[in-house]
Amino acid sequence: MQHQNLAKRYRASRRRQRGDVSDEDMDTNFSQSTGPDNVGIMVLMGQVHAMECRFWAWERSTDWWDRIVLQVWDDSQGLRNFRIRKGTFMELCDLLSPALRHKNTKMRAALTVEKQVAIALWKLAMPYSYQSVGNQFGVGKSTVGAAVMQVANAIKDLLISRVVTLGNVQVIVDGFAAMGFPNCGGAVDGIRIPILAPEHEAGEYINHKGDFSIVLQALVDHKGRFTNINVGWPGKVHDTRIFRNSGLFQKLQEGTLFPDQKITVGDVEMPIVILGDPAYPLTPWLMKPYPGSLDSSQELFNYR
């Protein structure tokens, strides 16, 4: 029967080509006989012209991003949700655009740089799932994951060396002196950043609190701004081991991080030092608190 119907449609097509059949008759035949298999056959026979596919994606609402965030939100709302003012956000997008600007394809329209950065900041600022962030911005959860990684890599490649830098050492030294500690160029510490358990050697990433984490070691100035970072060690590793294996330790040991600027304390010449908690080693260039029972001067030193 299917072969008979196919033959009938083919003869009708030939009659139409000769002008014997009206368009109305042909539309009726088409609507009554199409199905997934039949349409494919008809495309091959030339009865139906295949259409070029463009932007294959599920329809999702982007009104919240397009109409609310971009047009209505002010600086206070941006700070509350993205942890950044709108002017700073636009400056960030401009700096990252060389790495994040993509072209449209036949499969989908490329996300704007602004939307990629916003998705990444939202995910990093809020404890939401990729799915919920995707619903918020009108994209799929895989798109959220890709945006987070691409923005993070762009920041690492284009901005880290410009932002995480020592800057003016004398300003930093003066800042710490005003807080009560002389000839100081920074304070060092480590923080455990929670991660999902890795597939291999997961036990190495369990910290003393029982969480899976990696370690960020940071040197900061008198205002708490990063001037040197080291990130990626498993959470189980002690801060001292991380410090001794870092580029920061090597520069301090070689005396190449700070200028050769000494002051005299009592009868000792003191170079520019950094401050650390009891986990760090005591060296001529790293000061740590006094342990144990303390007198008043030692307590004041520890407080400073």
Closest CA to 105 of 149, 147, 52, 141: 52
Of the pLDDT bands very low, low, confident and very high (cuts 50, 70, 90), residue 7 is low
For residues 150 and 238, what is the distance between their CA atoms, to the nearest angstrom? 31
Least confident piece of the model among 57-66, 120-129, 188-197, 199-208? 57-66
CA distance 34 to 290: 86
Relative to beta strand 273-275, strand 286-287 is parallel
- How many whole angstroms separate alpha carbon 167 and alpha carbon 79? 26
CA distance linking residue 94 with residue 275, whole number of Å: 36
Q: What is the pLDDT of residues 148-157, one digit of tens each?
A: 999 999 999 9
List, in sequence order, every residue forming a beta bridge with 231; answer none if it has no partner: 216
pLDDT band per the 50, 70, 90 thresholds, residue 9: low
pTM: 0.69
Mean pLDDT of the chain: 84
